[in-house]
Amino acid sequence: MLVTLEAFFHDALRPALPGDVDVVTGPSRGPASTVSRLVEVCALNLKLALPEGEDLAGGREVAFRSGVHRWSANGKQVNFTLPKDIQGEVVELESPPGRPLRQGDQYVLEGNTVRFYRPPAQADIAVVAFLRGERAHGFLERRRCEISLVTRAWAREHGEADKLLSSALAAALLASSDIGNLDDSAPDDSGVRIRLRRPVVTLLGLSRGAEEHEETPFFRAQAEFLIRGEARAARRRRGARAREPYPRGTAALSPGRVPEIFTTKEEVSMSDVVHQKGILDASTDPKQDSYVIMTAAVLGYAWWRLSNGHDCSFDFEIKDETLLRPDNKKALEDDADFRLHRSIVSKLNAALQNNGMATTKQVKVGITPIYRKGSTGNMIIGGSGHEAAGSNERCNPMFPTGTTAEKLFDLAVGNIWVQDPKDQQHKRWALGYQGRGAYTGFITGRPDGQTGLLSTFRHTVPQSGYGRRWHPTTPIDVPVGPGETQKTWGMIGTKALQDTLKTQGMHMDKESIPLVPGRDIVGYTHGMIQAVYDVRWHEARLGKGKGGRPHEIAVGDATTKLASCFPCTLFMEATGFPPSSTHIGRGESWSPLYPDGSTNSQQVCWSQCNAEWHQFCQTVLEKGLACLLKNKGGKSFVHSDYSGSLAALGAYVEKQAKAPRDFANLILDALTVHEGEAKRVEATLVLL
Ligand SMILES: [Zn+2]
């Protein structure tokens, strides 16, 4: 890598300096007595940051066999097809070399053809594709790194060294503003390949002096640079031979040559995603981490509700409606699930009281309103959650008014029947996701216009710019991988299930872009949350209270509860739309929407809502953690199995979490480990 960097700067400086001045690279003993002027470029060292946590191998990832394919271009061509004998899928594209492109924005992949929107500029090597094949022996490691580089100008005449350096410096600074990814230029069969991602160069300082070399006096002027980037080292396991090592020398520059390198993995831009075993620490258990984080969040939320003058009820989902009949009370009391639910609520109350909550203020065991397919009132209401429990204002909304709203409602619940021209059968026609846990976001009461239905939206979490996120390095339930029985992290179910979810109406983002298991994190934004963003956006234009009311309509055959999931509840409470009812079942890989940083009013509104939610997450997590850490008579409310994760959460909050967003991201990470919140609370807390 040092040699590669020197070569980069050498090529940048060379044209800026007089032709009779030698520009040399590498360590040097200084100028020989036979020269009068000389410029040197020397990369002195590369330092890698240690992996997080105590386990030096904790951040290692699986490696895939991979290769590189290079194409020339004539300036007109837009389609580039991989030759038939090339194995693997394209995971990254650069054009010109060193400049990563964004799939979807600059090109699309259609089978083994890369289709550009604009033709790449003419060049012998115009397009570089990085390919990923089957799993390989070895591993991939990514770590932050720093490189020191120095440029020295030597001259015998006074003032000449300064002149040379000033030309060299201008050229170096210009080039460093435009430096792309760098590959180690001399890959060999040693089993290690290093790639420097997104290097950033900064000038550290200038210095000069007068020295004697070979008994000849010289003036020296030098500039020191610091380069920071992300080094990716891929290592082959000893004994596992490269099938076809990257040839030395010119082969790397010949278009069309596809050396198959032993290993390396798809590359991503500077990433804020931490790849390690546990969410909180490289050595903690990720499931236990998720249990403790969500238990703290549930406790902290309950504390916030109760100490701010609201009731707090976690509503139980009744599957058998007969249990609600007055003559069936005993059967309900005996129902195993219901008993478990009550025990969870008792544990929460005990921990709250230990932390000073008055005994008159208790979390209540509620029953979620029942969903009756196709009937009116099948809605969760955003914004009524501070009304009295059980009141009409809280959970009996008016039927949506206005023709468009009514039609949309019918569409969402599948109340519209159409005759199929193929078989003349009348079929129910529904819009939006109708599968398990199906709710459709819906807005009523806006004076001017109606927003369409908002189904659960699957997308990928941005890898950088939105705070630390976590990706596991050990399998949890469904393993991460490209197979049908595997998944991309965060995904609900397996890869094979995704088509089913799609046919049930789930809206999936940028489907033409294949997910990259091992890198991507999948998230789901529920319809209610999309509705909240939409209402807030219109409020910004129309005034508070005039943007309409967000709802979620229960739809489909597999959904029975009219209650918001816990992560939706946090977001709704934070943004001013507390839900009519909350359950503590699953909110698998729940996600907010990520604004793209642009300044249009919708994106600004998303950022604003997210900021309020971040703040609320910090409030509830900090309070919940305090409750968990407070012992009673020397005994902990946290089951001993979870004490490691509890300590790690305490350390994380104290040392690593810096901004409110870090707290929100912890909750998001915990939700990628799929489990119901009730189960997590039940396992984590003990009753004292
Ligand atoms: Zn939800």
Question: If you measure from the C-alpha of residue 144 to the centroid of ligand 1, how many angstroms do you get, rounded to a whole number?
Answer: 36
Question: If you measure from the C-alpha of residue 216 to the centroid of ligand 1, how many angstroms do you get, rounded to a whole number?
Answer: 77
Identify the band that residue 264 occupies on the pLDDT scale cut at 50, 70 and 90. Answer: very low
Question: If you measure from the C-alpha of residue 573 to the centroid of ligand 1, how many angstroms do you get, rounded to a whole number?
Answer: 12
Q: Report which residue type is found at 162.
A: D
Instruction: Give the separation between CA 392 and CA 395, rounded to whole angstroms.
Output: 5
| Higher pLDDT among residues 541 and 437, named by residue | 541
Identify the band that residue 152 occupies on the pLDDT scale cut at 50, 70 and 90. Answer: very high
Instruction: Give the separation between CA 638 and CA 571, rounded to whole angstroms.
Output: 26
Task: Specify the range with the lowest mean pLDDT, choosing from 107-121, 162-176, 343-357, 374-388.
Answer: 374-388
Nearest to 291 by CA among 685, 687, 684, 688: 684
CB within 8 Å of 296: residues ≥ 6 apart = 620, 621, 624, 625, 627, 628, 649
Residues around ion ligand 1, judged by CB within 5 A, are 526, 565, 568
pLDDT over 90 (residue 489): yes
Q: What is the pLDDT of residues 407-456, one digit of tens each?
A: 556 666 555 555 555 666 665 555 555 555 566 777 877 776 667 778 88
pLDDT over 60 (residue 12): yes
Instruction: Give the separation between CA 225 and CA 44, rounded to whole angstroms.
Output: 10
Question: If you measure from the C-alpha of residue 526 to the centroid of ligand 1, how many angstroms do you get, rounded to a whole number?
Answer: 5
Instruction: Give the separation between CA 417 and CA 446, rounded to whole angstroms.
Output: 27
Contact between 16 and 196 (Cβ < 8 Å): no
Question: If you measure from the C-alpha of residue 176 to the centroid of ligand 1, how many angstroms do you get, rounded to a whole number?
Answer: 46
In DSSP terms, which residues pair with 217 in a beta bridge? 212
Contact between 663 and 310 (Cβ < 8 Å): no
State the DSSP code for 652. I
Question: If you measure from the C-alpha of residue 409 to the centroid of ligand 1, how many angstroms do you get, rounded to a whole number?
Answer: 19
Q: What is the pLDDT of residue 136?
A: 67
Q: What is the pLDDT of residues 591-634, one digit of tens each?
A: 999 998 778 888 999 999 999 999 999 999 999 999 999 999 99
* DSSP-derived 3-state class of residue 11: helix
Task: Indicate the Cα dihedral angle 609, 451, 554, 382, nearest 10°.
Answer: 40
Question: If you measure from the C-alpha of residue 565 to the centroid of ligand 1, how many angstroms do you get, rounded to a whole number?
Answer: 4
Task: Specify the range with the lowest mean pLDDT, choosing from 100-109, 301-310, 481-490, 677-686.
Answer: 100-109
Identify the band that residue 267 occupies on the pLDDT scale cut at 50, 70 and 90. Answer: very low
Question: If you measure from the C-alpha of residue 571 to the centroid of ligand 1, how many angstroms do you get, rounded to a whole number?
Answer: 9
Instruction: Give the separation between CA 672 and CA 417, rounded to whole angstroms.
Output: 38
| Average pLDDT in the chain | 82
pLDDT over 70 (residue 399): no
Nearest to 670 by CA among 539, 523, 560: 523
Question: If you measure from the C-alpha of residue 443 to the centroid of ligand 1, how many angstroms do you get, rounded to a whole number?
Answer: 16
Question: If you measure from the C-alpha of residue 437 to the centroid of ligand 1, how many angstroms do you get, rounded to a whole number?
Answer: 9
Both tokens assigned to 469: 């996120």
Burial 162-199 (b: 16+ CB within 10 A, else e): eebbebbbebbeebbeebebbbbeebeeebebbbbbbb
Question: If you measure from the C-alpha of residue 433 to the centroid of ligand 1, how many angstroms do you get, rounded to a whole number?
Answer: 13
Q: What is the pLDDT of residue 536?
A: 94
Instruction: Give the separation between CA 101 and CA 106, rounded to whole angstroms.
Output: 6
Instruction: Give the separation between CA 531 and CA 568, rounded to whole angstroms.
Output: 11
3-state helix, strand, coil in the chain (%, to 5): 30, 30, 40
Identify the band that residue 96 occupies on the pLDDT scale cut at 50, 70 and 90. Answer: confident
Q: What is the pLDDT of residue 266?
A: 33
Average pLDDT for residues 347-369, to the nearest whole number?
A: 93
Q: What is the pLDDT of residues 328-338, one digit of tens each?
A: 888 888 888 99
Nearest to 380 by CA among 589, 588, 544, 559: 559
Identify the band that residue 257 occupies on the pLDDT scale cut at 50, 70 and 90. Answer: very low
Task: Specify the range with the lowest mean pLDDT, choosing from 135-149, 150-164, 269-283, 463-477.
Answer: 135-149
Question: If you measure from the C-alpha of residue 305 to the centroid of ligand 1, how many angstroms do you get, rounded to a whole number?
Answer: 19
Nearest to 52 by CA among 648, 662, 643: 648
Instruction: Give the C-alpha distances (Å, rounded to integers) separating 324 from 35, 332, 390, 583, 673.
Output: 97, 7, 15, 17, 33
Question: If you measure from the C-alpha of residue 504 to the centroid of ligand 1, how many angstroms do you get, rounded to a whole number?
Answer: 17
Instruction: Give the separation between CA 59 and CA 473, rounded to whole angstroms.
Output: 7
Q: What domains appear along the chain, each with residue ranges and CATH number?
A: 2-54+141-276 (3.30.2000.10), 62-136 (no CATH), 286-418+426-456+525-684 (no CATH)
pTM for this entry: 0.61
| Higher pLDDT among residues 190 and 365, named by residue | 365
Question: If you measure from the C-alpha of residue 572 to the centroid of ligand 1, how many angstroms do you get, rounded to a whole number?
Answer: 10
CB within 8 Å of 250: residues ≥ 6 apart = none
Q: What is the pLDDT of residues 55-70, one digit of tens each?
A: 777 777 776 676 778 8
Instruction: Give the separation between CA 652 and CA 313, rounded to whole angstroms.
Output: 29
Q: What is the pLDDT of residue 135?
A: 72
* DSSP-derived 3-state class of residue 203: strand
Q: What is the pLDDT of residue 639?
A: 97
Instruction: Give the C-alpha distances (Å, rounded to integers) separating 568 from 153, 435, 529, 532.
Output: 62, 18, 7, 10
Question: If you measure from the C-alpha of residue 364 to the centroid of ligand 1, how many angstroms do you get, rounded to a whole number?
Answer: 20
Q: What is the pLDDT of residue 250?
A: 25
Determine if residue 547 is left, alpha or beta; phi over 0 gives left, psi from -120 to 50 gives alpha, anything else beta. Answer: alpha
* DSSP-derived 3-state class of residue 538: helix
